Every structure is written in structure tokens, then in C-alpha cells.
Amino acid sequence: MSLVPGIDEITDPDVLASLSHDEAEWAPVGRAVAAVRPRSTDEVAAIVAECARQGLAVVPRGAGTGLSGGANAVDDCVILDLSKMNTILEIDPGNMLCVVQAGVVNNDLKAAVAEHGLWYPPDPASAPWSTIGGNVATNAGGMCCLKYGVTRDYVLGLTAVAGGPAGDYGTVVRLGRRTTKGVAGYDLTSLFVGSEGTFGVVTEVTLRLRPARTEPTRTAVGAFGSLVAAGEAVAECTRRGLLPAALELMDKATLTAVEEWKHLGLSADAEALLLAEIDTPGAAGEAEAMAMADAFTAAGALWAESSTDEFEAEQLLAARRLAYPALERLGSVLSEDVCVPRSAIPGMLATIEAIGARHGVTIATIAHAGDGNLHPLIITPTGDDVARGAAQQAFEEILAEAIAAGGTVTGEHGVGLLKRGGMRRELSPEVLAMQSAVKQTLDPRNLFNPGKVVGLP
């Protein structure tokens, strides 16, 4: 087929199959009729208008690094691959903002703004590969979000190709503004952030920036005899009012998997490690790092220390970023993304261990522990259907326990396909009805990423 003349189109079955799913190995995948690679907002508008004319669903895709099936094809859809829309359109140091196309890679943006003495803080583990459009679609967080916030906190405005009640699909809308303040009308920009492409296709984003961090960071590391003890240390840090730039947890299974793969020289003797990154400058930063180590010790750490050794810190942070691909080498991975109140972390970690034991499945746990965002990774032997069934039961139980603890079924990965059932259990019928009403208003023909989040057929 030729959807829109002059726009790159892919129909080769093998290439199309590779573009039809993200990294959520356990999420269902439909059969797309084609994929297209636009290079501008106008081209996206033309594609969306033609898809609407032909009644074809549109599934936006960035780099395909998602972990919830949010970019997975549905039957008879067109995959809208935005990876070629990778231009940084503007960097404005005077106003500390930038304007980028949706396909710009997170780390590429960080490097570009750093040349102007600026910093873009959101840093998901997939930052070397994930795109700003995908980060916006899922409201991505990362290690620095404890202190500096998530993607939504940095989106000033965006350009999207939308539909609407009149059925005028392909309309270009510009939401938000370039000013630091502004309350004219509803906050439609924030509505689009985290909507996973179900309201329209985000093509450009205006982002606020921060001054670059120039001081060396300090680290505090604590080793613990159990996951629960590490969780108690997180709660202790919260009680003491400590706010590091990042506070990350890795269990022994994760550290072992990374070390066996990359040989970073990590010790995996303890059952869990906590790593705090402190970027407060000067003597105050040194005192904060020592206070973190003291909190770890008070909570029962086997050992704890603070350091200014940047190499050591980077090795530990690298291990945290490599956790998912390292564990993927061991089998099929079903990734969780629950978030609980920080006071509930110890109990939730104990519950996760109990669920794994009850179902006889291996669970490796990593976490953005400082904000309660836990990532239990359920690992099963490839091709073992019995283990797969047990893992799915464990997955659903973890969701239920997170809700019972006052938490949520997804902190940053998004609902996509994997978490629709959990979302329905978390939200009230009234709230679910409101969500469906918004979707039906902005996308009355249900063409934008159908089946995701609200689950409309």
C-alpha cells in the first residue's frame, strides 16, 4: 500500500514485525498493515488524516523501549515510527528551555543542552535509547526524579496531531506555552503527558531546563542483610528529612547478573545495596552524604560509607542502569512497576519475597527506592509455560498488594496493555468513566493507540 506519497513506508514483514512491539515481552502484539517514518509535524498530520479516511488505527512509536506494551501494534493498524523526527529545534539559554522533535533521544538532548551550561533532569534507565516523545507518553521518571521530578514537571508545551468531535483527524494543535507561569484555560498539556498516545500524536515538545550541575557528586552506599532491612533504611532516611538526588536499591540477584555480564568489579555479598547520590555542593553535601550513611547504619546496615570516588559511584549507577538487560539474559522477564508510600516500602518488599516463594518464581528487585517506585522483575526459563503461568499469577498478586498498601500499579512505565486490569482495580468506576469520556471526546473514532490504557476496543 502507499499511504501518503513521499513518506517512507515499510511493509516488509520482518521489519514490520520488529517495529510492532516494545520491550514488554509478555504483552500481546497485533498485526500492522504498514509502518511509516515521517520527518515533520505536517507529514504526521497527512498520515493521520489518511488513516482516518481509511479507518486505520494509528499506533505511535519512539524507540520501542517501553515495558508495558504501550507501543504494540493492534490488528490492521499503521505504526507511526517517529524515530526520524530527531531534530533539536531550539535551545534557548536565556529562558532555560528547548524545543525538540519527539524522536530526539533523551541522552542526546542532555549532551546538547550541557554545551550551553544547562541540564535536562528526567533520566529513565533507558535514557541512552528512549526518545523524548516516548518519555512524554509515559511521563517517564528515573533515578533523579526523587529530587528533581518527572517528565511532566519539565513539559511547558507541546505540538500534537489530534482528532476531535467533528472528526477532523489530522488537526495540528499547539498546547501550553514558553512562559514559566500560565493558567489560561485547562491544562491540556499535562493531560497529554502520560496519555500513551491515546489522545493524539505528540510531535514536538517544549521543555524547561535547569542549570547544569557543576560540583562533583557524593555517594553514600549501604549493604544490608535483607531486602526488608534496606527498605527500613529508606523509611529512616525519609523520617530524617534527607533528600538525595537519587536513592536506588539493587538486590543480590541483580548485582550478580550485572557482574557476571559486565565484570564491573562489584561485590554481591550482601542481600541488597542502597546507593544514594548527593549533589548538594560544598560542605553541606559532605554532611548530607555522611547523614545518609548514618541513617543506613541506624537502620541495620552491615556496613555503610560515604565517598567522593566518582569512578565507584559511576560503576554502581551503571549497574543500576544495566539491571534489566542483564536479567533478560537469564530468561523471560516480566517487569513490575508498582509504587507505594515510602513508609510502606519494607512491608511491600517482604510481600514481594513471599509472593515469589509461594509461586516458586525468581524475582529480582530493583527500585527507585527514595520515592517508593519498586521494580520486581519476575524471571522464568524461556519456553516454560508452567513457570510463565506462575509468574503471571505473581504479577497480579503484586499489583493487588501494591493497591492494598495505598500505592499504584504503575509509577513510570505506563498502563499500556499489561496494566489495564490493575488500573481498573486501582481506580473507581466513576474515575474510569471520566477517563473513557475524555478519550471518546478527543478521539471519537478510537483511532489513536486503541486498546491501550482505558482499554476501549
Task: Check which CATH number belongs to the domain holding 108 and give it.
Answer: 3.30.465.10
Q: How far is CA 400 from CA 195, 338, 356, 373, in A?
A: 23, 10, 14, 15
What are the mean pLDDT values of the chain's consecutive 10-residue runs (457 residues total)?
A: 87 96 95 98 97 97 96 98 98 98 98 98 94 98 93 98 83 96 96 97 98 91 94 95 95 91 80 94 93 96 85 78 90 95 96 97 95 96 94 97 98 96 96 95 95 78
Q: What CATH number corresponds to the domain at position 76?
A: 3.30.43.10
Residue 357 counted as domain residue: no
pLDDT value for 269 = 82
| Same domain, residue pair 206 and 127 | yes
3-state secondary structure of 118: strand
Query: 142 with 186, same domain?
Result: yes
Q: Is residue 375 part of a domain?
A: no
Number of domains making up the chain = 3
Q: Of 284, 300, 323, which one is at a domain's C-terminal end?
A: 323
Does residue 35 sit in the same domain as residue 95? no
Query: Do 161 and 270 reside in the same domain of the chain?
Result: no
The dihedrals phi and psi of 116, each to the nearest 5 degrees, come to: -105, 15
Same domain (yes/no): 95, 200: yes
Q: Which of 318, 317, 136 is nearest to 244 (CA)?
A: 317
Q: Kindly state whether residue 116 falls inside one of the protein's structural domains.
A: yes
On the 0-12 / 13-18 / 19+ scale of CB atoms within 10 A, 13 is: exposed
Residue 103 lies inside a defined structural domain of this protein = yes
Residue 28 lies in a domain: yes
Quick one: pLDDT at residue 456? 59
* Domain boundary pick from 81, 106, 123: 81
Domain match, 235 and 286 both: yes
Domain boundary among 22, 47, 81: 81
Q: Residue 352: inside a domain, yes or no?
A: no
Same domain for 61 and 23: yes
Cell numbers 507541546: residue: 158
Same domain, residue pair 40 and 102: no
Distance CA 455, CA 416 (A): 9
Same domain, 269 and 230: yes
Helix locations, 185-303, DSSP H: 188-192, 227-239, 252-262, 282-298
User: Cell numbers 544490608 correspond to what residue?
Assistant: 224
Note whether residue 454 is domain-resident: no
| Domain range enclosing 244 | 215-323
Q: Which residues contact 427 (CB under 8 A, 6 or more apart)?
A: 435
The pLDDT of residue 267: 67
Which grid coordinates are listed for 323?
539491571
Query: What is the C-alpha to C-alpha distance for residues 338 and 265, in angstroms, rounded to an integer?
Result: 30
Whether 198 maps to a domain, the answer reads yes
Co-location of 65 and 92 in the same domain: no
Do 190 and 257 reside in the same domain of the chain?
A: no
CATH at 314: 3.30.70.3450
Same domain as 206, residue 224 = no
Q: How far apart are CA 418 and CA 397, in angstroms?
A: 14
Phi-psi region of 200 (alpha: psi -120 to 50; beta: other; left: phi over 0): left
